[in-house]
A and B are shown apart, each in its own frame.
Chain A
Amino acid sequence: MLNRAAGNIYDLGYRRYEGQRLGRRHAVWVLWLHRLRGCFGLGRPASSKIFPIGLAVITLIPAVVQLGVGALGARNAEVIRPENYYRFVEVVLALFCAVVTPEMVSRDMRSGTLALYFSRALERTDYAIANFAALATSMFALTFGPQATLFIGNGLVESDPASYLKDHWQQVPEIIGSALLLSCLVAGIGQAIASYTPRRAYSTVGILAVFILSSAIGATLLSVSEQGIWRYSLMISPFHVVAGFSFWFFGASPEPLSQLARADVPGAVYAAEAAVVAALSFLIFLRRCRGIKA
């Protein structure tokens, strides 16, 4: 009811928030968690879950197969070793990246929700970091998970798990390291590509094209010649780079006559290249984030 004499406006509902504000760090953490959940389709309808989770399951298959073979007695038949595990699932990992990254990145660009993000405590850098971290984490789940399964399974198959652990404990940091580097590399490349277009379809095809075409082209270029500069052809292919540094991490060497052996480039070089490419692609993504109109 208006008091006609005085003409007041009463403060009926709006109250300032005086409580605790958790600040930037928390915002980054929350965004990371939210993105990670989104990667696997949690909190979304079932159709968003099939692909990521299905692909995650597929990455486990080689581990399961190897454990099955081992458990059935053919102890020394090592079909799948940690160092060449990634080769078996590289296409699946690329697919996962191609499916999940555009959902995260292109969707924001298309629907214009970036303004919502940046009007909170979140800086653009934080957004980029949280996105990258979430994507890398989800890829880490797909790379570390199967390797860990293989490792633990192998240990359990042995009659004396404790001694297996003692003999092979250095595999643990190797697994973590290789999985981490792989995740950062794939996540970085995926995000850098996805940040260039708001249409998810283009991102997906672009990411896949980069991974798979570069692999075919690198292999083809290597088959051209194995001397001089052609030796480094495999370095344009993320798949081969991953294989290269995997061997380096696990202290093994590639099979003779395989493409990597013929290229004869030290594994450490691949690892260094992976780290550099991951960092560069993150910077590209960061730059795109800064430039996006929110």
Chain B
Amino acid sequence: MNRDIFWLTIRELAGRRRLALVVLLGVLPSLVSVAYRLGDQNTAAARWTADTLLYNVIITIFLPLVALIFGTSALGSEVEDGTAIFLLSKPVTRGSVISAKLMAAWALTAVFVVPAASVSGAIAIWGTPEQGIITGFVVACVLGALAYDSLFVMLSAFTTRALFVGLAYVFIWEGIINSIFSGTRFFSIRQCCLGVAALISSAPEETFSANLSGLESIVILAVAVVVPVWAAVRLLRMYQVGESG
């Protein structure tokens, strides 16, 4: 990984507007937790935290959205703004470029998702035995962020419409199709996250359960990182400038 490109990308991505958007989004789960504490709490705290808050809100919506914001812009904004030529006309291997961009996107995604998950989870589950739920989901978020960012970086090396494809993947493939055809759960980063969380936490089945075993999840996540990165490097090697005068 090229450290200069890493820091350059961090600076590029951490623009004021982007950060404001992500911070705004990040506060919401905590507000929801506060609302839960103030209310009736007719669902057991552990179950609510795991299932509703950490899975339905953080892993299903918040994590992919933040990953989309940083993952598609890491490489995509270079191409869109025209600075890709500067970066690529240097004797830096394409592998180091991609890994630097990916690490930057991952770092930023994790920096926002981990606090959002931990804080909102801590608020909700305060007082009851934690059973490793928050730890489990935070680790799941971190690994899921890496997988999502890998996928999105690869997509942005492939097409200028990476954001749309990424959206379709998250909301149509993982959202709709996976819920109808349960056999496709092996191709879902979301399900893997759930599996990792279940693996780490010691909570019983009724609290929350995953559709994939811990081992399956880790293997699939590893594949979901390695394959897109390899593809992205190959695609970047073939980067060409369009025709003009």
Whether the Cβ atoms of B40 and A227 lie closer than 8 Å is yes
A224 touches B28 (CB 8 A): no
Is A204 an interface position by the 8 A CB rule?
yes
Interface assignment of B38: CB less than 8 Å from any CB of chain A: yes
Q: How far does the Cβ of B102 sit from chain A's closest Cβ, in whole Å?
A: 18
Residues of B within 8 A of A227 (CB): 40
Q: Is B36 a contact partner of A201 (Cβ separation < 8 A)?
A: no
A204 to B73 Cα, complex, angstroms:
13
B117 on the A face (CB < 8 A): no
CB atoms of B21 and A217 under 8 A apart: no
A206 (CB) vs chain B CBs: closest residue: B21
Residues 152-200 of B contacting A (Cβ, < 8 Å): 159, 161, 163-164, 167-168, 171-172, 175-176
* Contact present for B28 and A202 (CB under 8 Å): no
In A136-187, the 8 Å CB interface with B consists of none
Query: Which A residue sits closest to B36, measured CB to CB?
Result: A224
Q: Size class of B's contact patch?
A: 35 or more
Least distance between A224 CB and chain B CB atoms (Å): 3
Flag whether A91 is at the interface (Cβ < 8 A): yes
- Nearest B residue to A224 via CB reads B39
Q: Which residues of A contact B164 (CB under 8 A)?
A: 51, 99, 204
Q: Which residues of B contact A221 (CB under 8 A)?
A: 32, 35, 39
- Distance (whole angstroms) from the CB of B43 to the closest CB of chain A: 6
Is A212 in contact with chain B by the CB < 8 A criterion?
Answer: yes
- Closest partner residue, chain B, to A230 (CB atom): B39
B25 within 8 A of partner (CB): yes
| Contact A47 B65, beta carbon cutoff 8 Å | no
Q: Does B56 contact A (CB under 8 A)?
A: yes
Q: Is A98 positioned at the interface, with any CB of B under 8 Å from its CB?
A: yes
Residue of chain A at shortest CB distance from B72:
A201
On chain B, the residues within 8 Å of A98 by CB distance are: 167
CA A99 to CA B172, docked complex, whole Å: 13
Q: Chain B, 97-115, contact with A by CB distance < 8 Å: what is the 0/1 string?
A: 0000000000000000000
B53 within 8 A of A: yes
A227 to B69 Cα, complex, angstroms: 37
- Tell me whether chain B's interface is mostly helix, strand or loop, or mixed: helix
Cβ-defined contact, B17 with A223, below 8 A: no
Q: Is B131 an interface residue (CB 8 A)?
A: no
A209-B25 contact given A201-B73, A220-B52, CB 8 Å threshold: yes
What chain B residues lie within 8 Å of A230 (beta carbons)?
A: 35, 39
Given contacts A220-B36, A221-B32, A223-B52, contact A205 B65 (CB under 8 A): yes
Whether A205 lies near B69 (C-beta < 8 A) is yes
B169 → A minimal CB distance (Å): 11
In chain A, positions 239-272 with a C-beta closer than 8 Å to chain B are none
The 10 closest A-B pairs by CB, nearest first: A224-B39, A225-B39, A225-B40, A220-B32, A216-B57, A224-B36, A221-B35, A224-B35, A201-B163, A217-B32
Interface residues of A (CB under 8 A from B): 47, 51, 58, 91-92, 95, 98-99, 197, 199-202, 204-206, 208-209, 212-213, 216-217, 219-221, 223-227, 230
Provide 26 A-B residue pairs closer than 8 Å at the C-beta atoms, listed in order of the A residue: A47-B159, A58-B172, A92-B176, A95-B168, A95-B172, A99-B167, A200-B163, A204-B167, A205-B65, A205-B68, A208-B167, A209-B25, A212-B61, A212-B171, A213-B28, A217-B28, A217-B31, A217-B32, A217-B57, A220-B56, A221-B39, A223-B36, A223-B52, A224-B38, A224-B39, A226-B40
